[in-house]
Amino acid sequence: MHETEPTTVDTLTQAYADRWEGTAGLEEASFLMKWMSSNDLIFVVLGVSLIIWFVLLWFIIRVDKKVSKLEESIKETENEA
């Protein structure tokens, strides 16, 4: 029997195979890459997602304060009229 050849070629794996080989060539990598490879990747993902959530929370609080100021100014102008 003969083995069948794969009909599709995984071009991404072939193109980036040398870049995903663990920590090979890590000594010339940036600080961020060294830090990410020394920690579990799940903690990096957790950190990035927490940063995103805190930025969204800060933005919502800031918008709420601005809307509250606008509501107060509208009430003041209605009371003066």
Select the highest-mean-pLDDT range: 9-23, 26-40, 67-81. Answer: 67-81
Is pLDDT at 31 greater than 90 in this prediction?
no
Mean pLDDT along residues 52-72: 98
User: What pLDDT was estimated at residue 43?
Assistant: 83
Is pLDDT at 24 greater than 90 in this prediction?
no
Of 6-10, 39-43, 49-53, 77-81, which range is least confident?
6-10
- CA 13 to the chain's CA centroid: 23
Cα–Cα separations (whole angstroms), residue 38 to 26, 42, 45: 10, 12, 14
Is pLDDT at 66 greater than 90 in this prediction?
yes
